[in-house]
Amino acid sequence: MPSPSYAAFDEKDLGAQVLLSQYKLRTSGDAVTVRQAVARYMKEHGATALSVTRFATAVSEIARNAIVHAGGGEFSIYVDPRAKQLTVVCWDKGPGIEDVELALTDGYTSGGGLGRGLGGAKRLAKIFEIRTAIGGGTSVLMSVNL
């Protein structure tokens, strides 16, 4: 995990999850790298094509958010082999989100997008948690069953 931050998730949140890999998010190419890594792992572990597409799309949304709205961030992939669960954490040091409920509303956009990204990601992931603080960055945790 990144150094403790006001908006980060820690070991308590991750339970029995084991860190699989970590990436820096800087350019749109990095968003492609992380969603392809997640998709590869899910396919190798027998997830259905629809499950892979839905979760990889959610991953792409939150990774792009960190790059576009926060100037970059870090992305970690965790697995819990026994519970057959994959978890990702996307962490940034950006400005934070003032009104999370509003940001999750379809149609709301702060940056010229369609305003469906964050709410869409929430619908596509089995577990979706967001922590944010003004000036303290934003962390998103999402999980999917394998």
Q: Which is nearer to another protein, 64 or 93 (CB)?
A: 64
Residue 18 CB, nearest approach to another protein (Å): 26
Residue 32 CB, nearest approach to another protein (Å): 5
Q: Measured between alpha carbons, how far is residue 106 from residues 90, 116, 130 in Å?
A: 21, 5, 16
Site for another protein in 58-97 (CB under 8 A): 60-61, 64
Site for another protein in 101-130 (CB under 8 A): 106, 113-114, 116-117, 119-120, 123-124
Q: Which is nearer to another protein, 8 or 103 (CB)?
A: 103
Q: Measured between alpha carbons, how far is residue 49 from residues 39, 41, 58, 85, 88 in Å?
A: 9, 12, 14, 16, 19
Strand partners, 142: 88, 128
In this structure, what DSSP letter does residue 61 have?
H
